[in-house]
């Protein structure tokens, strides 16, 4: 994840997702990853400060089951929230 603070006029963070075909070759794996990221973000966005967040898929993401993927995303959202209050720009992962 990459993040940086955004305009103070917005109260909620924004999300961008980048999934390269070389990291997740199958379309179903790319779509599953994006759905999981969006769903996880939807549940955690109210706990995050106003940030512009980019989630990058890395190789090996298709070997995780959904529960493991959600645990990793939860950990990343918590870390992002903690780091965002201390400094800017933020990089997790």
Count of domains for the chain: 1
Q: Is residue 41 part of a domain?
A: yes
Q: Is residue 89 part of a domain?
A: no
Q: Does 32 have pLDDT greater than 70? A: yes
pLDDT at site 31: 94
Degrees to nearest 5, angle at CA 44 with 39 and 49:
135
Domain hosting 78: range is 26-84
For the segment 6-17, the average pLDDT, to the nearest whole number, is 82
Q: Is residue 70 part of a domain?
A: yes
pLDDT at site 93: 60
Q: Is residue 4 part of a domain?
A: no
pLDDT at site 60: 74
Q: Is residue 92 part of a domain?
A: no
Q: Is residue 19 part of a domain?
A: no
CA neighbor of 13 nearest in space, from 55, 43, 53, 40? 53
Give the tens place of pLDDT for each residue, 34-74: 999 999 999 998 888 888 999 999 887 778 888 999 999 99
Q: Is residue 21 part of a domain?
A: no
Q: Is residue 75 part of a domain?
A: yes
Q: Does 89 have pLDDT greater than 60? A: no
Tokens coding 75: 């950990």
């Amino acid at each position: 994840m990459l993040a940086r603070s955004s305009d103070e006029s917005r109260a909620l963070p924004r999300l961008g997702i980048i999934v390269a075909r070389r990291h997740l070759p199958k379309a179903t794996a790319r779509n599953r990853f994006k759905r999981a990221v969006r769903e996880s973000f939807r549940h955690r966005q109210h706990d995050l400060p106003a940030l512009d967040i980019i989630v990058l898929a890395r190789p090996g993401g298709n070997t995780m089951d959904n529960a493991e993927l959600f645990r990793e995303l939860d950990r990343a959202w918590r870390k992002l929230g903690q780091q965002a209050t201390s400094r800017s720009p933020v990089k997790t992962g």
